[in-house]
Amino acid sequence: MPPKGSRKSASSLPTQTLVLDNGAYTLKSGLVPAGSSNLAYDGCTVTPNCIARSSRDKRTYVSSELSKCADFGELAFRRPVEKGFIVNWEAEKAIWEHEFLDSKAKEGLRCDPRETNLLLTEKPNCPSLLQKNCDEIVFEQFEFARYYRCVGPTLNAYHPAQPNSLSSLPQECLLIIDTSYSDTTILPLYSGQLIQSALRRLTVGGKLLTNYLKELSSLRHYNMMEETYLLNEIKEAVSFVAPSAQQFGQNLERTWKGRLGDKRNLDPTIVLDYVLPDYEQSIHGYARPHDPAKSRMRRGLQPLQGPREDLLPLGNERFAVPELLFHPTDIGIQENGLPEAIMQSVGLLPEALKVGMLANVVVVGGNSLIPGFMERLESDLRALVPAEYYLNISRAEDPVKHTWLGAARLASQPELLKEVLVDKAEYDERGSGWLARKFAGGDTK
């Protein structure tokens, strides 16, 4: 057996790092070799983080296999991540094995954990017992060589502030708005460190919006409670955020059917018909302007003509669903809207930091892709921020992969990475309690 020192030096050789942003909806993953300088969004692979079972063709699809699915009708999902935290390790293990270890795994992602570092992201405020489970599985089941776990959005601080900046230090003040599948979080970062006491969270995330649209469509038109996949597709295709609260009210008027005896015409610029896929000829639906004759036909008030198709009329659902991000009280959630919550979070910081945070607001996460979201957030926030403050808010170029790219920038710098990674041998010696304290930034004696 070689002496202990020699093994240590061998394991400290720079190797590749598996950067894994383990979201509830998708896994953002990619292998980053140490010292690589040409990092881009292309290095990131987005795969669904779920196991899906179709009751029609009786097949089970694991993660990326979902792209082979041709019939999304009544597709049931099993998601290992609940509320942003990895809860079900049985499913998560199957997905990781399928994506990273299996011989059929995609070429750019297949790796041997014993020769790979793992950089894994988590949501803030994770229950400590779940963190402990995660650490134990990573080292005891997967046996990664070295591992670091941290709050995902904090890694956005490693993006260079200017495109040509050579500094590898994290940005000093950064306010990240992460509006993701599970929820929306507001994270003030100081030099890449999260100010925990000022973190704020909103219940509303992409999942809640999809489920809300599903509930509304089922109540008003067809029963679609089993069609989560389809409703998510519809949400992504048609929803938009009204430019202001006043405009929201005007849109509501324009999409109202009117009273009995006082029927109004629906505004064709807002109301759409979504042609539902039948999963025989088409697997994806599409939206087109509303045709009143077609909806009369559907209700049997006019003889049927033309090809048979199922239409889902979408009126105020288009903007009332994403409006929940700005008015969660509309369905009774006792929380502030996003702009007020940002002010609540920033209000807990000292004056000097407040100025710095509001001048560096970056929005990441898939909900920010809803048309009109950024404009609404900026105008609502500007109205709340004192006039003498400079407000600079921007959306990341690719809000879904941005956190992954930030993590990849950290992983590509061996000297930064060396400080945070933990060796498997060290874990075996000191145990998971020590590791949890180390990752929490506490004393490790």
Partner 1 sequence: MPHVEVLPNSASVSAPGWTYVVDTGYDPSKAPINPKDRKRAAARTQGRRGDNELTARQQTAIARRIAELDRDNDPKQQIAIPGKNVPAKTANARRIIQSARQIKHWLDEEEALAQLAPAPRTAATSSRAPPSRKLSTVPPTPAETTPGPTSGFMTPLPREDIDPLLSIEKTMAPPLSESELDALLSAPPLSYAESFATLPAGGPPQRQFCDNCGYWGKIKCLKCGARICGLECKDAHESTRCLKWA
Binding to partner 1 (CB under 8 A): which residues in 229-268? 252, 256-257, 259-260
Q: Answer yes or no: are the C-beta atoms of 62 and 53 closer than 8 Å.
A: no
Among positions 358-417, residues that touch partner 1 (CB under 8 A) are 388
Among positions 269-308, residues that touch partner 1 (CB under 8 A) are none
| Residue closer to partner 1 (CB basis): 36 or 203 | 203
Stretch that binds partner 1, among 86-94, 112-120, 371-379, 413-421 (CB under 8 A): 86-94
Q: How do beta strands 116-122 and 146-151 pair?
A: parallel
Among positions 95-114, residues that touch partner 1 (CB under 8 A) are 97
| Residue closer to partner 1 (CB basis): 289 or 441 | 441
Tell me: does residue 62 bind partner 1 (CB under 8 A): yes
| Residue closer to partner 1 (CB basis): 126 or 237 | 126
| Residue choice 57, 112, 115, 143 for contact with partner 1 (CB under 8 A) | 143
| Residue choice 53, 110, 221, 298 for contact with partner 1 (CB under 8 A) | 53
Kindly state the smallest distance separating residue 122's Cβ from partner 1, in Å.
Answer: 11
Among positions 321-340, residues that touch partner 1 (CB under 8 A) are 327, 329-336, 340
Stretch that binds partner 1, among 2-10, 46-54, 374-382, 400-408 (CB under 8 A): 46-54
What pairs with residue 147 in β-bridges?
118, 422
Kindly state the smallest distance separating residue 42's Cβ from partner 1, in Å.
Answer: 30
Residue 70 C-alpha from the chain's centroid: 25
Tell me: does residue 127 bind partner 1 (CB under 8 A): yes
| Nearest C-alpha neighbor of 345 from the set 202, 200, 190, 183 | 200
Among positions 174-233, residues that touch partner 1 (CB under 8 A) are 182, 185-186, 190, 193, 195-203, 207-208, 211-212, 215-216, 219-220
| Nearest C-alpha neighbor of 359 from the set 174, 134, 221 | 174
Q: Answer yes or no: are the C-beta atoms of 98 and 62 closer than 8 Å.
A: yes
Kindly state the smallest distance separating residue 36's Cβ from partner 1, in Å.
Answer: 30
Kindly state the smallest distance separating residue 129's Cβ from partner 1, in Å.
Answer: 6
| Residue closer to partner 1 (CB basis): 371 or 441 | 441
Helix/strand/coil (H/E/C) assignment for every residue in 154-198: HHHHHCCCCCCCCCCCCCCEEEEEEECCCCEEEEEEECCEECHHH
Q: Rounded to an integer, what distance in angstroms lies between the CA atom of residue 118 and that of residue 430?
A: 19
- How far is the CA of 210 from the CAs of 190, 213, 219, 232, 278, in angstroms? 34, 5, 14, 5, 20
Q: Rounded to an integer, what distance in angstroms lies between the CA atom of residue 330 and that of residue 333?
A: 7
| Residue closer to partner 1 (CB basis): 9 or 197 | 197
Q: How far apart are the first and last CA of the chain?
A: 29
Tell me: does residue 124 bind partner 1 (CB under 8 A): yes
* Residue appearing with tokens 């049985």: 90
Query: Reduced to 3 DSSP states, what percent helix, strand and coil does the chain have, rounded to the nearest 5?
Result: 40, 20, 40
Among positions 9-38, residues that touch partner 1 (CB under 8 A) are 24
